[in-house]
Structure 1
Amino acid sequence: MLPAAPDYRSGSLASVLPAVARSLGSSRYATVPGLGLGPADRAVVVLVDGLGYEQLVRRSGHAPFLRANLDSTLRLDSGFPSTTATSMGSFGTGTPPGQHGLVGYEVLDPERDLVFNELSWENGPDPFRWQPTSTVFQEVLLDGVEVTRVGPGFFDGSGLTNAALRGGRFRAASSMADRVSAAVDAVKASPHALVYLYWGELDKVGHVHGPASWEWVDELESVDRHLSSLATRVPAGTAIHVTADHGMVDVPFAHRVDLAGEPDLLTGVRHVAGEPRAAQLYLSPGTTPAEVVQRWQDRLADRAWLGTRDEMVDAGWFGAVRPEVRDRIGDVLAIMLDDGAVVDTARMRPELLRLRGLHGSVTDEERGIPFVTVAARTV
């Protein structure tokens, strides 16, 4: 059985930027849930890729700055699937996946019958057409809030950035120390500012070594030190908010089902996309979802939940779904409930097959994300 679907109205990553915009006095977000935020002149929103709530609580002894704010930290839901591309869409637009349309790591472009990667955007469609909704950054600019986005230079103008995070100016900075300095400079430059700061290092370490590794803990300590530095350097009237796009689970290699050796599972399946922990299957003409669901369920048993697009949409896993987004979602979804995954050694790159930490599914470890707020300084 699947757990309850995300509450996209007030308890998910999609709530973060609208609530921050409201705290900055944006008239466009005056009626959204405020997540308990007080008013601020300026705000820095830090998204730490891969910082799951469960992992943070478990390892909070290694993160004194975050631990000091843990009692007031909210546990939000990343949404589904719990993957970066989808989460960035929810974060940037303040809407659920069924509205912004970034519904997976790999998804089908129905117009071209082509699967593309929404993270790299290689061979992807026009990002402005694929995701036409205004972002929160674009909206608050109209209220006179100065918006600056800080991250690695290759993000500037990328397909995912243009689809999910457009608006304001972009400041490229490589190291975490440089990103903190760029964020501080940006927030000092305007009396009414929203600065977005992205950190991806923790996610990379978690994928390679696993979220329970000492390497992950070392990286968390580094993140915590830089967050503490940021908090001491921003001017008065600046609130700092820290959140994440998803958590992560450790997936032993012995617990992975390889489609390259399971030809029966591919019978009637035109495309396999999604994530190793939340596969989305697009079926061949004449194949019914029920027969694929039964075949996959027999193979995976209680390790996974198998269901149809209609079931997932009706249960609210994608929020309200625009008509043009519906066919981007797989006809059948295979959602892992244990510490397993579905991979394909005939199709996936070796470096992806070697990753230990994975995400995308519906477990607490993957969906739970923190929302940490450091109240605006008065002096």
Structure 2
Amino acid sequence: MTLAQHLGAAGLSLPNYGRKDLGAVLPAALASVGAGHVVKGRNAESDRQRLGLPRARHVVVVLLDGLGHLQLDARRGHAPFLRSIESGIVTAGYPTTTAASLAMFGTGQPSGRTGMTGYTAMNPDTGKVANLISWENADAPEEWQRQPSLLERAAADGFTITTLGKRRFAGSGLTQAVLRGGQFVGAESLAERIDVALGAARQSGVSYCYWGEIDAAGHRYGWESEQWVAALEDADRELRRLASQLPRGAAMVVTADHGMVDVTDAPRWDAGEHAGLLEGVRLTAGEPRALHLHLNEGADAAGVVERWRNILGKHAAVVTKEDADAGGLFGPILPEVSGRIGDVVVAMSGRATVVDSRTQSERSMALIGVHGSLTPEELQVPLLTASGD
């Protein structure tokens, strides 16, 4: 069976790489303001046309962490403004997780090129698991992620670039790795960020605004919770204000980095306690919905694949790195990135997870909402656009 067939049997599908994917959003925005020429590795003007973004003097790009298309659709009554401006669907890359998705957004490239291969990834230089959110055990940001930052290239070419986020994210490893460049403005609340974005929109250029509260509520309470709905309503209200006050000639585009599934009462295995899952596996990385299995020296990858398939059954697609590469799961895999991808790759289906109590905290294993795999709930994210009068 091919990779696509393995995924399809598990109810999963490949990302729409190179076309309507998350990596098209920032190139399209840059093309809208006349900066498409700074994008390398994809055609920014084609991205703009494909996504339907207008020519503009300024584009505000908003990324709502954790807002999948299907979750938004299910709660449409709580987000009437966002639903009114939804213009399409794009896919995240694999894995559908924040580190990989922000890298794809910031560079236009999939994780096989950026090396942002999960929430955690094995650092081949040390053999330790690096956390690509906290940046613990990872190399210097510019060494770990070598693809050019599109914001940095646009700023270097004279375009006004503004990034809005929590003050603690300024200069963080993840920011430096994938979203460096331009002016970073720290603003704690979404309302504050919208105020800054409206000021920036009076100038030509691009501003980027990140909002993580929807994802945080989903992780802790689940996306079907009242807390998640409240976070969605907050975003809907503030983005309505942004759209209504955009200066003439400015536009906004809203998207997300991934969706989410709730896993309460769903099948779960602990790789740290299951003998069959442990056999031949030196360490696990990634996350409970998208695992990298790094094997002991001399271990038979085909044998590990067979054991994991027998144990997980219909709840996962399990393939070797070679099959994942041949099928384009991570996009083209660069040599300097290859060691961060597991010898065996596991994409979970339905709402099932595999945790590892040897390396994960009780808190992380208790999360209700999770993501990382390739179900429609995780893979599909909304594309929403509006323009100033």
Contact preservation (8 Å) 1:8, 1:15: no
State the distance in 1 between where 2:265 and 2:363 align: 13
Q: Which amino acid aligns with 2:65?
A: D
Which residue identity does 2:74 align to in structure 1? R
* 1:109 aligns to 2:110 (yes or no): no
Give the equivalent residue in structure 1 for 2:337.
325
1:84-163 superposed matches below 5 A: 84-163=98-177
Provide, for residues 77-123 of structure 1, a one-character-per-residue CA deviation record: whole Å limited to 9, x for no partner: 10100000000100000111111111111101112222111111012
Checking the alignment, whether the CA contact within 8 Å between 1:50 and 1:202 is kept in structure 2 is yes
For 1:342 and 1:316, locate their aligned partners in 2 and report how far apart those are by CA, in whole Å. 23
- Whether the 8 Å CA contact 1:41–1:237 is kept in 2: the answer is yes
TM-score, L = length of structure 1:
0.95
SS for the counterpart of 1:157 is: coil
Q: What secondary structure is seen at the aligned counterpart in 2 of 1:348?
A: coil
What is the distance in 2 between the residues matched to 1:7 and 1:78?
8
Partner residue, 1:218 = 230
- More moved, 102-111 vs 21-30: 21-30
Distance 1:297 1:193 in 2: 50
Q: In the alignment, is the contact (CA less than 8 A) between 2:123 and 2:137 conserved in 1?
A: no
Matches within 5 A, 1:1-379: 1-3=6-8, 4-26=13-35, 27-29=37-39, 31-34=45-48, 35-70=51-86, 73-188=87-202, 190=203, 192-375=204-387, 377-378=388-389
Matched residue SS, 1:2: helix
Distance 1:182 1:265 in 2: 50
Structure 2 SS opposite 1:219: helix
Structure 2 Cα separation of the partners of residues 349 and 166 of structure 1: 30
Structure 2 CA distance, aligned partners of 1:113 and 1:67?
A: 45
Instruction: State the identity as a percent.
Output: 43
- Per-residue deviation, 1:361: 0.4
The separation in 2 between residues aligned to 1:31 and 1:347, in whole angstroms, is 44
Scaled by the length of structure 2, what TM-score is found?
Answer: 0.93
Where does structure 1 lack aligned partners over 5 or more consecutive residues?
A: none
Mapped contact 1:253–1:356 kept (Cα < 8 A):
no
Q: Distance in 1 between matches of 2:246 and 2:331?
A: 36
The range that moved more, 240-249 or 267-276, is: 267-276
* 4+ aligned runs moved over 6 Å, structure 1: none
Contact 1:62 1:220 in 2 (8 A): yes
Instruction: Quote the residue 2:3 is aligned against.
Output: none
Alpha-carbon displacement from aligned partner over 1:330-361 (angstroms, at most 9, x marks no partner): 00012111211001234311211221000000
Question: Structure 2 regions of 5+ residues with no counterpart?
Answer: 1-5
Shift of 1:254: 5.0
RMSD: 1.3
CA deviation after TM superposition for structure 1 residue 32, in Å: 3.7
* SS in structure 2 at match of 1:301: helix
What is the alpha-carbon distance in structure 1 between the residues aligned to residue 273 and residue 132 of structure 2?
27
Contact 1:271/1:283 (<8 A) preserved = yes
Q: For 1:208, give the aligned amino acid.
A: R
